[in-house]
Amino acid sequence: MDIDLESQFTGALIGSAVGDALGAPVEGYSREKVNSVYGARGDWEMKSGRYTDDTEMMIGVAESLIENRGFNGADMAHKFILNYDVSRGYGPGSKEVLRRIRAGESWEAASEQLFFGEGSYGNGAAMRIAPVGILYFDNAEVLREIAYKSSQITHAHVLGKEGAALQAYSIALAVQGHKEDMLPRLKAFAKEIYNEKLNTVERLLGGDMEEKEIITELGTGVAAFDSVPTAIYAFCRFDTFEDAVAYAISLGGDTDTIGAMTGAICGAFYGEEAIPGRWIEKLEEGEKGRSYIKKLGNELYRIKMHP
Ligand code: R7I
Ligand code: MG
Ligand code: MG
């Protein structure tokens, strides 16, 4: 594959934001209801272009990694708080954690209290992980370590963290040009129930499955294990950014997040140029809009090249 690495970096971040904005107007909708809004897959137009918490938090992850030239938990938590705009639709757990940190709890401890002391296994850590996936694409162990640490700020449950690590590693493999052989590599990396989920992805890719079977078997929910494997499936099944992301959203459920995660993997694999221009143009601009997101990708690339 002959794609510019810098374009894969910017593609991962813009791809994630585009998937988020495209899925946002139909978040929580059934498959049928998504279809009634967007119509058949093929030539979807972006409805609003406004991104949600998925992208707002991804921006915080990128800003902090850039400013600190690596992971700094207290600073990343601070970035989340600075960027926080409640109208972007945060999950209840993440809202609560950010409130606790603002009130003085440490970034490491605040998330531990959630869900009766179990910590959250929501997909909120995986949805924002693209900057980690690109910056650490060539070192799986460091990637897992930073994915876990960045997750800890809001998601203390091992399944929330491992979902983020799996999403980050999918992005890393995409940067390296692995698509046909992505699944065996992911299976060698994955822990916990994600291994079984990846076996299911492999089986489903073997046949031309109906959408409702995909939804039942992989899930389209807000838990990391009901959404990260679904994004991986969408990437593996299709050959273009547009087809994979539209398919992921067409399933319904947590559409902005599954759209964002599919968009991040696709953008990392195909590069920024492969993202439909009409979607990028519609993505919101402004202080932290599409130009800014692209710039974050450029800066992460610069850090990677000149550590
Ligand atoms: O993961 P999180 O930040 O939410 C992200 C979602 C995305 O769809 C965004 O687009 C936005 O809409 O929100 O927020 P959390 O509240 O930590 O997790 C999401 C949900 O997962 C929770 O509200 C719970 O319903 C569920 N959940 C759990 N349920 C039981 N036990 C997460 N962890 C647990 C748990 O341990
Ligand atoms: Mg969202
Ligand atoms: Mg969502």
The H or E element that residue 197 is part of is helix 194-205
User: For the segment 7-59, what is each residue's pLDDT rounded down to a tens digit?
Assistant: 999 999 999 999 999 999 999 999 999 999 999 877 899 999 999 999 999 99
Cβ-based neighbour number of residue 2 at 10 Å: 5
Atom of ligand 1 nearest to the CA of 154: 17
Cα-to-centroid distance, 217 and ligand 2 (Å): 23
Atom of ligand 1 nearest to the CA of 97: 17
pLDDT tens digits for range 70-82: 999 999 999 999 9
The pLDDT of residue 3 is above 90:
no
Number of H helices, E strands in the chain: 17, 0
Ligand 1 pocket residues where CB is under 6 Å:
52-54, 89, 91-94, 115, 118, 120-124, 127, 157, 222-223, 254, 256-257
Whether the pLDDT of residue 162 is over 70: the answer is yes
Q: How many angstroms does the Cα of residue 123 sit away from the middle of ligand 2?
A: 10
Average pLDDT, the chain: 97
Q: Ligand 1 mean position to 250 CA, how many Å?
A: 21
Task: Please report how the helices 194-205 and 182-189 are oriented relative to each other, as an axis angle in degrees rounded to 10.
Answer: 170
Q: What is the residue extent of each domain of the chain?
A: 5-40+49-102+111-305
pLDDT in tens, 238-292: 999 999 999 999 999 999 999 999 999 999 999 999 999 999 999 999 999 999 9
CA–CA separation, 127 and 16 (whole Å) = 8
pLDDT for position 285:
98
Distance from CA of residue 181 to its chain's centroid? Answer: 21
At 233, list the tokens.
Answer: 């499936």
Indicate the fold that domain 5-40+49-102+111-305 takes in CATH: ADP-ribosylglycohydrolase fold (1.10.4080)
As a whole-number percent, the residues of the chain with pLDDT over 90 amount to: 95
| pLDDT exceeds cutoff 60 at 1 | no
- Per-residue pLDDT, 2: 63
User: H/E/C letters for each residue in 226-272?
Assistant: HCHHHHHHHHHHCCCHHHHHHHHHHCCCCHHHHHHHHHHHHHHHHCH
The pTM of this model reads 0.98
- Encode pLDDT of 118-146 as tens digits: 999 999 999 999 999 999 999 999 999 99
